[in-house]
């Protein structure tokens, strides 16, 4: 029985979840912005990769870098012109970002047409470990997920920007008193989170669909990961992804895809019922 194969694929699914949820972990987790346009930021990343790699015939790595930069720029603009005016008003933020998500979907549809686009996978082939098949591209995704988490952890904990970011999220007034330019920190944080979303879109483009409607699926998954793992905690995002990826993958062995999804949803509801702060709670004073 391919239980080992399912576990291995669970790791790769978890990797995909880490990649898509990391950006949201920052914008929602740290900044408390309910960003309904997260999926569309992922979509923008995927389309930029399509432009760079399929249309421009450039290497995939370049597509990843450009996707990060372009989406970060989009994030900065969104923060500057929309979200900045709505801090502390979650309901309005939700509506505004939902509107933005529809706007971006339609914009992409007008620019690129409604049909899906293809991005060729940079890695072909499969690595066989005993009975377990691991496509090179899935290994690459897991590696990238690890690199992204480590880089984000480094940025958040070791750089001046990261320390400012965390202190602003904990006590904005005190930071302002101490002379930190909080609006600048907000802008860069959102830009960084958006950039990570774009990078996610870029990495997933070769194995998922690239179309104007692709964002919705990712939005739901990434919110669940962040809420399950614990809002505001990087480790939470990591473990939330692992828990969701593995449980989903293992459950599909016994029930169909639809059944597995229902059970995972139920488990998440149970977790939130008994641990409302998620699996990993960030200690706060």
State in angstroms the smallest separation of the CB of 201 from other proteins: 12
Provide Rg for the chain, Cα atoms: 19
Q: Does the protein bind other proteins through residue 139 (CB under 8 A)?
A: no
Pick from 12, 101, 164, 237 the residue near other proteins by CB under 8 A.
12
Instruction: Say how far apart CA 93 and CA 126 lie, in whole Å.
Output: 44
Find out whether 251 and 264 touch, Cβ atoms under 8 Å. yes
Q: Write out the binding residues for other proteins, residues 74-93 only, by CB under 8 A.
A: none
Instruction: Say how far apart CA 234 and CA 166 lie, in whole Å.
Output: 12
# residues near other proteins by CB under 8 A: 45
Find out whether 241 and 21 touch, Cβ atoms under 8 Å. yes
Q: Which is nearer to other proteins, 154 or 265 (CB)?
A: 265
Q: Does the protein bind other proteins through residue 129 (CB under 8 A)?
A: no
Helices 160-170, 182-204: axis angle to 10 degrees equals 110
DSSP secondary structure string, 49-99?
HIIIIIIS---HHHHHHHHHHHHHHHHHHHHHHTGGGGTT-HHHHHHHHHH
Q: Does the protein bind other proteins through residue 133 (CB under 8 A)?
A: yes
Write the CB contacts of 1 (distance below 8 Å, at least 6 apart in sequence).
Answer: none
State in angstroms the smallest separation of the CB of 16 from other proteins: 7
Pick from 5, 167, 182, 247 the residue near other proteins by CB under 8 A.
5
Q: Does the protein bind other proteins through residue 252 (CB under 8 A)?
A: yes
State in angstroms the smallest separation of the CB of 240 from other proteins: 16
Q: Does the protein bind other proteins through residue 40 (CB under 8 A)?
A: no
Pick from 67, 101, 211, 222 the residue near other proteins by CB under 8 A.
211
Instruction: Say how far apart CA 108 and CA 280 lie, in whole Å.
Output: 37
Instruction: Say how far apart CA 115 and CA 210 lie, in whole Å.
Output: 9
Of the candidate spans 67-75, 149-157, 173-181, 258-266, the one that interacts with other proteins by CB under 8 A turns out to be 258-266
Of the candidate spans 56-64, 143-151, 227-235, 255-263, the one that interacts with other proteins by CB under 8 A turns out to be 255-263
Angle at Cα 15 formed by Cα 127 and Cα 274, nearest 5°?
A: 140
Instruction: Say how far apart CA 127 and CA 149 lie, in whole Å.
Output: 24
Q: Does the protein bind other proteins through residue 146 (CB under 8 A)?
A: no
Q: Which residues bind other proteins (CB under 8 A)?
A: 1-2, 5-6, 9, 12-13, 16, 106, 109, 114-121, 124-126, 133, 135, 137-138, 206-214, 216-217, 248-249, 252-253, 256-258, 260-261
């Amino acid at each position: 029985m391919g239980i080992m194969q399912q576990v291995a694929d669970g790791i790769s699914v978890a990797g995909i979840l880490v990649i898509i949820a990391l950006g949201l972990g920052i914008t929602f987790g740290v900044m408390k912005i309910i960003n309904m346009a997260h999926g569309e930021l992922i979509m923008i990343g995927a389309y930029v990769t399509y432009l760079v790699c399929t249309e421009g015939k450039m290497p995939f790595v370049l597509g990843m870098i450009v996707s990060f930069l372009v989406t970060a720029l989009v994030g900065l603009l969104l923060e500057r012109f929309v979200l900045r005016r709505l801090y502390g008003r979650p309901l309005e933020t939700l509506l505004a970002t939902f509107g933005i998500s529809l706007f971006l979907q339609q914009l992409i549809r007008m620019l690129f047409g409604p049909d899906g686009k293809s991005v060729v996978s940079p890695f072909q082939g499969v690595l066989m470990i005993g009975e377990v098949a691991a496509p090179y591209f899935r290994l690459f995704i897991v590696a990238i997920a690890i690199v992204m988490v480590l880089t984000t952890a480094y940025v958040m904990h070791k750089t001046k920007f990261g320390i400012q970011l965390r202190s602003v999220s904990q006590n904005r007034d005190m930071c302002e008193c101490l002379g930190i330019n909080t609006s600048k920190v907000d802008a860069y944080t959102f830009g960084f989170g958006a950039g990570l979303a774009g990078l996610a879109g870029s990495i997933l483009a070769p194995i998922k669909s690239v179309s104007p409607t692709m964002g919705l699926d990712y939005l739901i998954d990434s919110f669940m990961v962040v809420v399950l793992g614990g809002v505001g905690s990087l480790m939470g995002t990591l473990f939330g992804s692992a828990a969701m990826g593995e449980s989903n993958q293992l459950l599909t062995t016994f029930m169909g895809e639809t059944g597995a999804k229902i059970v995972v949803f139920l488990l998440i509801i149970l977790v939130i019922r008994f641990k409302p702060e998620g699996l990993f709670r960030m200690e706060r004073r």
